[in-house]
Amino acid sequence: MPGNHSSAEILVAIYAYAVQIYADFSGYTDMAIGLALMLGVRLPSNFLRPYGASSIVEFWRRWHITLSYWFRDYVYIPLGGGREGRPREYRNIVVTMALAGLWHGANWTFVIWGLFHGIGVATVHGIRRAFRVTNAMPQWVGVVLTFHFVTLGWVFFRAPTLEQARRMLAAAFGGGAWSSVLVFASSNAFVLLLMAAFLLTHRFDDRRRVKAAVRYVRAEVLWPVIALLWIIAITVSQGSSNKFIYFDF
């Protein structure tokens, strides 16, 4: 119910969701990579400090990397990639990102989110080619703008309906609190602190930290622990209900 909150509170919620979704995606990726290494399987890196990207193009080279590569190889390239001229290349980018959004769920909010990112990626490529530059602005400016672009898109990703997304954005940018310079400055100080925390502390995507942690855990220890937890789970479930818990491998 965004109408019950001030603009500043809505902004904090939006920024906080950017933290939540990164911690969710990157967190279970870290666990998957670590567990796989315990079993001798090497999985590719999937997150490389995406909130430190200086453009939306770079962001998608750092965020959910395996998914990006899959859509590149099985959607973007089969559509023609960049082989049939610039207009069709930009079209292929937008279509690919729209399908990437739809991949997350059958909802128009995901489609809008995908289109939002697709248009952003195509625009960055177009600007770079028009001005023949790789970076059209200082890196720190690009990082701040990219983070806010991505965070704005998360509103559509998180909202259950387009109407709810519209209400969130209207409450964030239309409230009286925006007339206060102090509120605007404090909200941006908040996001800058979050960005600094991510860039300086989250290093599991480095893989070296993952390998260092895995070095102390052996597969011969992992399997007895899994078996013990499985037995405990079955015992508890049998004690609380008549249903039998099993795993379908």
Q: So which residues are the catalytic ones? A: 104
Query: Is residue 135 helix, strand or coil?
Result: coil
Cα distances from 173 to residues 8, 69, 161, 166, in angstroms, run 9, 35, 19, 11
- The residue with tokens 């990397």 is 65
Cα angle: 71, vertex 76, 82; to 5 degrees: 145
Cβ 43 vs Cβ 4: under 8 Å: no
Cβ 37 vs Cβ 210: under 8 Å: yes
Q: What is the 3-state secondary structure (H, E, C) of 222-241?
A: HHHHHHHHHHHHHHHHHHHC
Rounded distance between C-alpha atoms, residue 178 and residue 10, angstroms: 11
Residue 103 tokens read as 């991949």
Give me the helices (H) in 76-218, please. Answer: 86-103, 108-131, 139-158, 162-174, 181-201, 208-214
Rounded distance between C-alpha atoms, residue 173 and residue 244, angstroms: 52
Residues contacting 106, CB < 8 A, separation 6+: none
